[in-house]
A and B are shown apart, each in its own frame.
Chain A
C-alpha cells in the first residue's frame, strides 16, 4: 500500500451518492444508447474517468474481482479500488466480474466470462473508457429498452470492437455487457442490443 494521503477520495455520502449513481446507471442500462450524466461522481485516480470510478464505487465490492487493462493498471487505481471497494484486482480476465478497458485495448471482449446458458447473469460487465460518447461513427442500436431504434455515435473505437460485439450479441442470452464511460457520463450497451452502421 502506498501513501494513504495520496489516495483519491471515494463517495462523499456513500448511501445517498451510491443510490443516485445507481439510478443513473439503471436509467442508462434500461435505455441503451442514452447518455446519462452521473451525479456526485468523484474524480477518478490515475487515468480512470469520474464515471468509471463512480460506477465501480457503486457496484464493486469484495465479491467482484476487477481486471484492469494496461492503461489503468496503476498503483493509484489499484489502491483506490482496494481501499474504497475492497475489490480483488485480478490479472486473468476470466475471473473478473468487472473489466476496465481503454477504447483501443486489443481483443477487448476476448477471455471475459460470458455466463452459461443456465446462468447467463454470471457474465462480466466491461467498462470501456472512450474519448467521447458522441461525435463517433453513427450507428443504429436496436433491442430491449429502445423504442424502435437509437442513434448512437460512440467515439474512438476501432472496427474490431464492433466485430467482436456482433459475435457477443450473437451469443445471447450469454455474453458480456458493456458500459462506455467518458468524463462524468456513461452510455450502456447490454448484450441484448444489435448494432447496425
Chain B
C-alpha cells in the first residue's frame, strides 16, 4: 500500500480553520459533559460527500495533532476505499503518522465497527454517524424528538422493541441497536453491529460521535455505563456463528460472510483485518 505522506502547506493545519476548530472543540467538551446528548454544531462543507464520514472527519480534524497516530477503519478493514482515503487525507493535511495497528493508534476513526482488540486508556474512538437521532424512525419531527430527550420520555422506543418481539419472536434489530447512556439519554451507537455494543460499556477509551449531514456531535466519556435496551424476559444478546474465521480461526470476532465461487461456496472471515493479521502473525511465530 503506498501512502502520500507529504504535508500540504496550502491548507491550515488539519484542514479546518481555527475558528471552526474552536467551535467544534467547544461542542465536544459540552458533549462529554452531558454523555449521550447530541450537541448541534456548525458542520462545514468537507471535500467529500455526506455519507463518507464528514462528521467523523470534522471531529478528528478538531482533535488531531502532530503527536498523534491515526488509524481509520471502514467496517473493520483498514484497506477499503473510505479508510484509505481518510487516512491519506489526514497524512496530507495534518502531517500525522498513520497505522493499521489498533494498539499503536491514539485516534481511531471508524465507520460501523469497534475494533476487536480492547481499547485502552488515552485512546480516542471517533465514530462516523449517518443518523444520530435514535428516535428518528419512530418520530420524524426534530422538535418532538428533542422534547422526548428533554423529558427522558422513551416509551416509544420500548414499544418499538416490543413490536419487534411480537412480530418476530425476538428483538430483530441487528445493527444501530439503541443504548442507554449513564441511565439518562438513549443514544444511537451508529450502525455498528450489536455484537460491538458491549464494547462501548465502561470502555477506558473516550468515544466521540460525529454526524456531518445532521450536524450533531455526541460523546461517551471513559468508564461510562452504556446499556443496550432490552426486556427482562428478552435480554440483549449478541450475534454468534457456528463457523470460525477461515484465516485465523478466531471464534471470538465478528465474521463477514464471503461467497467464493459460482457454486455459492461460502466462508467466514474476521471483519477486523488488523485483529485477524495479528492472530495469524502470532500463530506463524509460534510454529
Q: Which chain A residues have a beta carbon within 8 Å of chain B's beta carbons? A: 14-16, 18-20, 22-23, 25-27, 29-31, 58-61, 63-64, 97, 116-121, 123, 125, 144-147, 172-173, 177, 190-192
Contacts and interface: CB of A to CB of B under 8 A. Distances in A.
Contacts of B27: 121
| Residue in B12, B22, B39, B182 whose Cβ sees the most chain A Cβ within 10 Å | B22
B146 interface: yes
A192 B28 CA distance: 15
A191 B146 contact: no
B101 interface: no
B282 interface: no
Contacts of A16: 13, 65-66
A23 B63 contact: yes
Given A23-B65, A172-B184, A145 B147 contact: no
B265 interface: no
B34 A191 contact: yes
A146 B35 CA distance: 13
B211 to A, nearest CB: 15
B222 to A, nearest CB: 6
B29 A26 contact: yes
B30 interface: yes
| Residue in B34, B147, B151, B222 whose Cβ sees the most chain A Cβ within 10 Å | B34
Interface residues of B, number: 46
List of 9 A-B pairs having minimum Cβ-Cβ separation, nearest first: A117-B150, A145-B221, A190-B33, A121-B30, A15-B13, A144-B224, A19-B65, A121-B39, A147-B223
A72 B13 CA distance: 33
A106 to B, nearest CB: 25
Interface in B16-71: 18-19, 21-23, 25-35, 37, 39-40, 62-67
B206 interface: yes
B33 A192 contact: yes
Interface in B83-109: none
A190 B99 CA distance: 33
A190 to B, nearest CB: 4
Given A15-B18, A144-B35, 18 more contacts: A16-B13, A18-B18, A22-B25, A26-B25, A29-B29, A29-B32, A30-B32, A58-B25, A118-B146, A120-B30, A121-B31, A121-B40, A144-B220, A145-B224, A146-B223, A147-B223, A172-B34, A177-B33
